[in-house]
Amino acid sequence: MTSLTTTDRQQLLAGRDLAVDLVRVLCVLLVVVLHSLMLGLDVRADGAIGWRNVVQEQPWFAVASWFGQLMPLFFVVGGFASWQGWASTVRRGGGGADFFRARLLRLGTPAAVWYVLVGAVVWAAAAAGLPVPVAQLLAKGLGMPLWFLAAYLICQAAVPLLVRLHTTRPVTTFAALLAGVVAVDALRGATGVDAVGLLNLLLVWPLVQQIGFLYADGSIGRLGRPALLGVAAVAFALVGVLGSSGLYSPDMLDDLNPPTLPLVLIGVGQTALFVLAKPALDALMTRRPAQAFVAIAGTRLMTVYLWHLLLVIAVAATVLIAPDVVPAVGTTAWWLARVPGDLSVFVLLLVLSLGVARFERGPKRVGPVPSVPALVVAGALATVPPFWAMQLGLDLAGFIWGSVALVLAVLIARGRTTRPTDHERGAPLAR
């Protein structure tokens, strides 16, 4: 389980940028750490129970979020991976439908399993009569990370078009997306309607993905260290200016949903820092322990991302067992008392992944690639439930119709399959 086989190592090393793989893994693991640190159940003197985002209350959090909010960097390295994935699809003679079907199955299958199983857990928790704050946290909190699924599927659907535009009109494409982001932010500010900002789901993350294309085609790599330092300094300085102007929050958690211009600048700055650090990361990834870590964790990223909040909430709720001995929230003793609980989240995730991580590979058998209209329907079915959860949270009804929608999306994308022949039953599946 935890050893890296010769085959795993060959697959890991074959044509991959291992520093990028390492960053992808670290981005997701840091999300788990931050969410675990942010959540604290507070048992007050009168016995009432509430929950607080303790980390975000700290005076240093806003500036720390410029470096700790790594979703922009994740979409950058995701853009690099998508560039390579699209090139591989084209080399095999495939097209946009092939590419999107593969991505939808890899993302949608574990999400469908999550909706079904976590929906059952939430139903059981409600039937058990949990305290109202914990029940509310389950309903609101569990849906928060799902925005990523909606945003990433949108980016994946746009990859064939955006790669073509990048190779033919890179400056125009980047400028058009940037202008769109600024226009949406301006319209949101002028109208005071936050929902207008949701349009930037179609612009901010595809634009950040374009930065990954710049890395994939070698453009960023041709910059020298002074230029990269200058790019990072200017990008973070602009974030500071925008945050102090009152037009945007200096806190990147506030600027995340709906996404805004500062996230694009954060993506630029983080990418420059990544390229500066890449020689050191490349050296690290020549070592077998680092390769084993990336190989093992990299096959579980969606599992970690989808399931971690349920486990974080469960661990945080253990304070209800003996509320009288829990230190006051935010004190030094409280922070120290969290260490074993936060570490236990990772242990539980590892154990959980033994059962559910296999769904990240998608279905074992697939049929012919469905038609484009069918894939559009499948994409919509896979995108709407997480978008809904992001905006309104998840109640039991949301889990039920979300489960149905995600399962249908996977079945449509999978296509009609035939029963395996006796020969196929005895042969390993080609991946």
Residues of the chain above pLDDT 90, percent: 56
* pLDDT class of 203 with cuts at 50, 70, 90: very high
Residue 393 has φ and ψ, to the nearest 5°, of: 80, -175
pLDDT at 422 over 70: no
Spatial CB neighbours of 59, under 8 Å, sequence gap ≥ 6: none
Phi first, then psi, for residue 312 (nearest 5°) are: -60, -45
- The string of pLDDT tens digits covering residues 48-85 is 666 777 788 888 888 888 888 899 999 999 999 999 99
Q: Residue 396 has what pLDDT?
A: 84
pLDDT at 424 over 60: no
Counting every residue, how long is the chain?
Answer: 431
Sequential DSSP letters for 105-131? HHHHHHHHHHHHHHHHHHHHHHHTT--
According to the model, what pLDDT value does residue 109 have?
Answer: 95
Provide the 3-class DSSP secondary structure of residue 52. strand
The pLDDT value given to residue 46:
61
Mean pLDDT computed over 192-198: 91
| Res 427 pLDDT > 50 | no
Does the pLDDT at position 287 exceed 70? yes
β-partners of residue 50 are 42
pLDDT digit string (tens) for 225-281?
999 999 999 999 999 999 998 889 999 888 888 999 999 999 999 999 999 999 999
DSSP assignment string, 273-326: HHHHHHHHHHHHTTSHHHHHHHHHHHTTHHHHHHHHHHHHHHHHGGGGTSGGGS
Do 410 and 112 meet the contact criterion of CB atoms below 8 Å apart? yes
With a CB cutoff of 8 Å and minimum separation 6, the contacts of 106 are 302, 360, 361, 362
Q: Is residue 414 pLDDT above 60, yes or no?
A: yes
The H or E element spanning position 53 is strand 49-53
Give domain limits for the chain. 6-415
- pLDDT tens string 312-368: 888 877 766 666 666 777 778 878 877 888 889 999 999 999 999 889 888 888 889
Q: Do 101 and 17 meet the contact criterion of CB atoms below 8 Å apart?
A: no
Which pLDDT does position 337 carry in this prediction?
77
pLDDT band at 133 (very low <50, low <70, confident <90, very high): low
Residue 324's pLDDT is 67
How far lies 165's CA from each of 94, 173, 205, 332, in Å?
A: 19, 6, 16, 52
CA distance readout (Å), 285 to 16, 22, 158, 217, 291: 11, 8, 31, 22, 6
* CA gap 36, 72 in Å, rounded: 20
Q: Quick one: pLDDT at residue 10?
A: 47
In this prediction, residues 142-150 reach a mean pLDDT of 87
| Residue 59: both structure tokens together | 């005076």
- 126 in Cβ contact with 396 (< 8 Å): yes
pLDDT above 90 for 38 = no
pLDDT score recorded for residue 431: 33
- E strands, 296-407, are none
Q: Is 101 left (phi over 0), alpha (psi -120 to 50) or beta?
A: alpha
